[in-house]
Structure 1
Amino acid sequence: MNSFTVNGEQELSATFEYSRSDGGMQPSKLNCGGPYDIGTYNLMVVVAENGDDGDYNDSVLELSRHTTKA
């Protein structure tokens, strides 16, 4: 589990892959939700599935930020 803070504008990328039995890499299936605004808390979630059970909990990427009150 990792966490980091980004300050200012930056371009970010994430790759979701899993290792096949032959050692090769396969792209994960992705699903996402958001963006959600909960008061001043903003959230977007990306979940990944490797195809063995369909529960989309193999990897989770959560992007969140706080904004000022309007």
Structure 2
Amino acid sequence: MGMFGSGALAEAISLVVYSVVAAVLTIGGLFVEYTSVQYLGTGEQVVAFWLAAIGAVLLYAGLYGIGYKKLLARVS
């Protein structure tokens, strides 16, 4: 199968997928947190706190759930 065996190819693809998912969740979380701060500045506190909670979940999922637990575990 060339340079990669089927196991190594599957591992490389899963690393790429986990990296992309972690990056999307983290960037999405940062964007939602930024939007939360904008709503807080306009006085919409309920919306701001909901967005802050959603952003925190996205950041947790991207950085810890996927990035640390899945991606880092596969690399090390």
TM-score band w.r.t. shorter chain: under 0.3
> Rg: which structure is higher?
2
TM-score (norm 2): 0.24
TM-score normalised to structure 1 length: 0.24
**Greater relative contact order (CA < 8 Å, ≥ 6 in sequence):** 2
Larger strand proportion of the pair: 1
Higher helix share: 2
